A = this chain, B = another copy of it.
Amino acid sequence: MLNTRVLPPNDSAHSTPLLIKNLLLSGKRYERSQEIVYRDISRYDYATFNQRICRAANALSRAGVKPGQTVAVMDWDSHRYLEMMFAVPMLGAVLHTINIRLSPEQILYTMNHAEDIFVLVNSEFVPIYKAIEGQLTTVEKTILLTDGDEKTADLPGLVGEYEQLLAAEEPEYEFAEFDENSVATTFYTTGTTGNPKGVYFTHRQLVLHTMTQAGVLGGLDSVRMLGNRDVYMPITPMFHVHAWGIPYTATLLGVKQVYPGRYDPELLVELIKREKVTFSHCVPTILQMVLNTPSAKGHDFGGMKVIIGGSALNRGLYEAAKSKGMHLSAAYGMSETCPLISNGYVNLEIEAGSEDERATYKIKAGVPVPLVEARLMNAKGEFLPHDGKTQGELVLRAPWLTQGYYREPEKSDELWAHGWMHTGDVAAIDSMGFIEIRDRIKDVIKTGGEWISSLELEDLISTSPAVKEVAVVGVPDPQWDERPFALIVACEGYEMDAKTLRDHLKPFVDEGRINKWAIPTQIASVTEIPKTSVGKLDKKRIRTEIAEWQEAQAPFLSTL
């Protein structure tokens, strides 16, 4: 360490720690009369929002919530969830956002592992909660959330119904200051194997992430993605990495926020129209659903800006959205990264190029945002060149990465091998700093000594007019080690078999974009492709299903 002139850290007498309460206060003073909307169910202003958070803090304190304890939420995406994203950490407690799309067994596992003591349960999830309740080892008290009129429920340890509890409390609370390195939130990420793993973030990390996100969404790129007069609606669940952190950023800026509850495409389009939503974010499959839903037909989404992450943004979707007036921008991150790591950007050099070149960069993972360092690493822990060609595992350093997996020392060491956070993604980085994700390390198809990116193959296959959706995985092959296998949902009026697919891909082989070994020799024409709880292609399940089909010689399989 250099012998710099170091001041005492966190001199609380003459400085303020980075705490989530300061994000909240900013929003109120910018726009006390701006709205926060929950479907048709609730609508109030930022002044009320702040008061409700104080009421909630009083109610949670009265119920016995202590700093350092964990408070879990099982809810749809709502104003209540947003309130808990502030009230719980502002009390010094830890918010556990439960992934309600997991199986009951997995939910049970995460709640016991996170040591939840208080749980807020939406009435619709009471049956799930009751099913696992007997095996919960740490929970003491529950609070009922409801979109209806229920004032009680058959819940062990029930303190009361949320709205009634809030109504009984004062709208003021003096939130204390504490160490900015206090854990604020935790949630569980599901890998392809083993139990879900708990990531966790501190106040400092969330504040830094929020401030950086505000700068990136406001000041960067020719389009201002998020400004004070935008209307924001998330289409990534709030349990999943804080809806990408954007509710915190929107609150900081005093932006109007709309919460849709659940992701029914018709409801989403209705809310977009009615509330004049101009900014959102989602995974590609959800945007596809929104664009394809009947009420979106003929609707002009002009001016709407959408950040796409979670999976690669393919060119077909980019163009489809553009034709409806939507401005898409790719971003990259993951549960372990809070999540913002990089985002789409058109620099001067790219801007000078053709529309086609610009689009090529728009759908990449973008350039690392401020304070993030991204490198490529090989299996020996050596750095690889940023030449746009060399592939390696993307590794990261930043002030807001999870410091490990909760109570998983071995997996934490693996995550942080060689002092860098390992993403498990294979990427290339070009000389301008653009990251291109080639594949998950475990999804790369190893065939005849070559590495084929399943993502690139999916991207090329998706350009066929016959293809509505596609997933490619490697399946074991005695001769080539692995061979690519494509699952395809054909568009209405089209059929797809291995030969048609080969004809579609042949020009890309001729162009040199892929080698001929990359052409899938086996395909399955299906009506649906398995997805994970957050809407990504579930390649683990796909591989299992293919193995079962192959054994059963399913009739929808086609081979060259």
Contacts and interface: CB of A to CB of B under 8 A. Distances in A.
A168 interface: no
Residues of A contacting B: mostly: loop
Contacts of A220: 30, 218, 227-228, 253
A219 B13 CA distance: 31
Contacts of A23: 370
Interface residues of A, number: 82
A515 interface: no
Per assembly, the copies of the chain total 2
Interface string A344-367: 010111000000000000000001
A219 B222 contact: no
A347 B254 contact: yes
A104 interface: no
A219 B228 contact: yes
A94 B5 contact: yes
Contacts of A215: 211, 214-215, 218-219, 252-253
A441 to B, nearest CB: 21
A178 B16 contact: no
A404 interface: yes
Contacts of A33: 347-349
Given A348-B31, A399-B18, A181 B7 contact: yes
B5 A68 contact: yes
B2 A92 contact: yes
Given A4-B179, A5-B182, A348-B31, A370 B14 contact: no
B16 A66 contact: no
Given A29-B368, A30-B367, A92-B4, A403 B15 contact: yes
Interface-centre pick from A15, A67, A179 (highest chain B CB count, 10 A)? A15
A30 B67 contact: no
A379 interface: no
B214 A222 contact: no
A54 to B, nearest CB: 17
12 contacts: A4-B67, A5-B183, A13-B416, A14-B404, A16-B373, A18-B208, A29-B368, A29-B433, A208-B211, A214-B218, A215-B218, A217-B218
Interface of A: 1-11, 13-18, 22-23, 25-26, 28-34, 66-68, 92-94, 176, 178-179, 181-183, 202, 207-208, 211-212, 214-215, 217-222, 224, 226-229, 252-254, 345, 347-349, 367-371, 373, 397-399, 401, 403-404, 416, 419, 421, 432-433
